[in-house]
Amino acid sequence: MSLKLVIFACLVVVIAADASDVLELGDEDFDSKLADIDTALVMFYAPWCGHCKKLKPEFARASIDLIANDPPVSLVQVDCTEAGKDTCGKYSVSGYPTVKIFKSGELSTDYKGPREYAGIVKFMKSQVGPVSKPLASLSDTEKFLAVEEVAVIYFGGDSSLKEAFLKTADKIREKVRFAHVSDEAALKEYSFSEDIVLFRPKVMGNKFEPAVVKYEGAEDKSAVEKFITANYHGLAGHRDTDNAGDFISPLVVAYYSVDYKKNPKGTNYWRNRVLKVAQNFKNDFSFAVANNNDFAHEIEEFGLTYVSGDKPVVCARDAQGMKFIMQGEFSMDTFESFLKELKAGTLTAFIKSEPIPETQGNVIVAVGKTFDELVTNSGRDALVEFYAPWCGHCKKLTPIYDELGDDLADEDVDIIKIDATSNDVPTSYNVRGFPTFYWKPKDGSPISYEGGREKDDFINYIAEHSTEPLKGYSRAGKPNPVEL
């Protein structure tokens, strides 16, 4: 290839990467421009913000799809450090990026949808137009079903079932594409009348489950929603970063190079093998296929650093959140054996854990493998700190916590800490930030500690809540008199 062609190719790549229909607005034109836009998604950002830099390309890609939508959605950016300072102040922007939805220039609501291209597009399409798209003809119906996404359509005229359908659409329009059609040609072509029907994408078609599922339940919004939720992803759905929360444990996931855009045939080759086995365990587990690169961090939680090769790696969580890994190379026989053992409860769970400490101090160090022994089943009260080694607040707290351990060394209460970034934590402990504290009574369930972080705060709490009175402190946390 000549040098000129190389330069031209590079320029094409740069131009394609920069392609965007995002409007950059500031204090001078924000109000006037937004007043002429029916629906706008606005990102308030700072140029130095790492999260903003990550969101910007996703925002740019989404802008191209959404401006072409019917009706269109405009995507807007406002630099809060320069041209848009006053506008950001007007809308109480205190963190970056802050994303909000505007309708005809007026603030509608904070944006709480996904932060990735596909999720942004899907979420914002649901925010415009009717909750269910009216299809006027057979041609409209065919076009609606040609999109490679799940579709739920009501066939027929006005009825109480249609009313329940529309109420359901209004409730979950952000997740599902809804449409309704009464055209006689469409009803005849699809052989439905006064029916709610869920259509799965053609690319997900397989011989182990129907591509079209008709609702047979009552004329009730809750029942219709339950039907859609149960059938939306099918027997082994495509789990991505946008819909991961839809898949509930007990869950079995096959991780490999899932790509329905560039390699649907290769993706379905392995998915069909998962489906063939999974159909015999559909009442025991939920199943999914997922791209190994999209879920690299999740895979690491199972102790796997990288998924190599073409064949899937299978990981599972049971109803209690315990983790299990299928050993050996994927085949339908090994997959079936794994599911049988998982169902029977004969597999050993994987627990991410640091090495067990050889010695302990007055603050006991728990790890993944010893947590049950030291906390759950110890038969003693315990205050547990969940920390991260890099956490500044945790480091500041260390001498206070050490002193607490020393002061309560002779009490029937354990002062415990665990690095929650390097060790598995039971799901009954909701650790979302550091440090997080829980009080674990010896005969009770864990209780989130929301008190102060000084030593006296901890002592007062423990003295009040300990199963047996402390020897050195009253229930009010006052030191008991020392006997001479």
Catalytic annotation present for 394 = yes
Q: 10, 49, 80, 88: which is the annotated catalytic residue? A: 49
Q: Are 133 and 154 in contact (CB under 8 A)?
A: no
Domains of the chain plus CATH, in order, are 15-125 (3.40.30.10), 133-231 (3.40.30.10), 236-344 (3.40.30.10), 363-465 (3.40.30.10)
Query: What pLDDT score does 483 carry?
Result: 63
**Helix ranges restricted to H, 197-313:** 221-231, 264-278, 296-300
Classify residue 425 by its DSSP letter: -
Q: 52, 80, 88, 315: which is the annotated catalytic residue? A: 52
Tell me how far apart the alpha carbons of residues 308 and 257 are, in angstroms, rounded to a whole number.
10
Structure tokens at 183: 């055209």
Tell me how far apart the alpha carbons of residues 307 and 292 are, in angstroms, rounded to a whole number.
7
Query: What pLDDT score does 481 carry?
Result: 85
Q: Are 365 and 418 in contact (CB under 8 A)?
A: yes
Question: Which pTM does this prediction carry?
Answer: 0.75
Structure tokens at 346: 């004969």
Query: What pLDDT score does 18 carry?
Result: 52
Per residue in 418-477, pLDDT (tens digit) is 999 999 999 899 998 899 999 999 999 999 999 999 999 999 999 999 999 999 999 999
Structure tokens at 341: 């053992």
Classify residue 350 by its DSSP letter: B
| CA-based radius of gyration for the chain | 28
Per residue in 392-435, pLDDT (tens digit) is 999 999 999 999 999 999 999 999 999 999 999 998 999 988 99
Tell me how far apart the alpha carbons of residues 317 and 250 are, in angstroms, rounded to a whole number.
5
**Can you list the residues of the chain whose pLDDT is less than 70?**
1-19, 483-484
Query: What pLDDT score does 404 carry?
Result: 97
Catalytic annotation present for 49 = yes
Q: 80, 88, 315, 394: which is the annotated catalytic residue? A: 394
Q: Indicate the Cα dihedral angle 95, 99, 105, 109, nearest 10°.
A: -100
Q: Which residues pair with 256 in a beta bridge?
A: 291
User: Could you count the other beta carbons within 10 Å of the beta carbon of residue 334?
Assistant: 15
Query: What pLDDT score does 286 carry?
Result: 97
Query: What pLDDT score does 127 carry?
Result: 87
Side-chain-facing half-sphere of 40: CA atoms under 13 Å: 27
Query: What pLDDT score does 138 carry?
Result: 97
Tell me how far apart the alpha carbons of residues 376 and 425 are, in angstroms, rounded to a whole number.
11
Tell me how far apart the alpha carbons of residues 28 and 84 are, in angstroms, rounded to a whole number.
8
Instruction: Report the sign of the C-alpha dihedral through residues 41, 50, 15, 295, in that order.
Output: negative
Residue 381's SS3 state is strand
**Helix ranges restricted to H, 173-252:** 184-190, 221-231
Catalytic annotation present for 315 = no
Query: What pLDDT score does 19 carry?
Result: 67
Classify residue 355 by its DSSP letter: P
Q: Are 441 and 465 in contact (CB under 8 A)?
A: yes
Query: What pLDDT score does 484 carry?
Result: 53
Query: What pLDDT score does 183 carry?
Result: 96
Catalytic annotation present for 80 = no
Tell me how far apart the alpha carbons of residues 384 and 370 are, in angstroms, rounded to a whole number.
13
